[in-house]
Copies of this chain bind each other. A is one copy, B any other.
Amino acid sequence: MTTIYLAEDQEMLNTALATLLGLEDDLEVIGTATDGQTALSEIISKKPEIAILDIEMPKLSGLDVAEQIKLLDPPTKVIILTTFARATYFEQAVKTNVNGYLLKDNPTDQLVKTIHEVLDGQTIFSPELVTTILSAEKNPLTKRELDVLKEIKLGKNSKEIAKSVFLSDGTVRNYISSILSKTGASSRIEALNIAEKNKWI
A residues with a Cβ closer than 8 A to B are: 10-17, 19-20, 81, 83, 104-109, 111, 152-155, 157, 185-193
Contact = CB atoms under 8 A, between A and B. Distances in A.
Contacts of A109: 15
21 contacts: A10-B104, A11-B105, A11-B107, A12-B13, A12-B81, A12-B104, A12-B105, A12-B106, A12-B111, A13-B13, A14-B107, A15-B108, A16-B17, A19-B108, A153-B189, A154-B189, A154-B193, A155-B185, A155-B186, A155-B189, A155-B191
Contacts of A11: 104-107
Contacts of A155: 185-187, 189-193
Chain copies in the assembly?
Answer: 2
Contacts of A154: 189, 193
A155 B190 CA distance: 4
B157 A187 contact: yes
Given A155-B192, A155-B193, 8 more contacts: A10-B83, A12-B105, A15-B109, A152-B189, A153-B189, A155-B185, A155-B187, A189-B192
Contacts of A157: 186-187
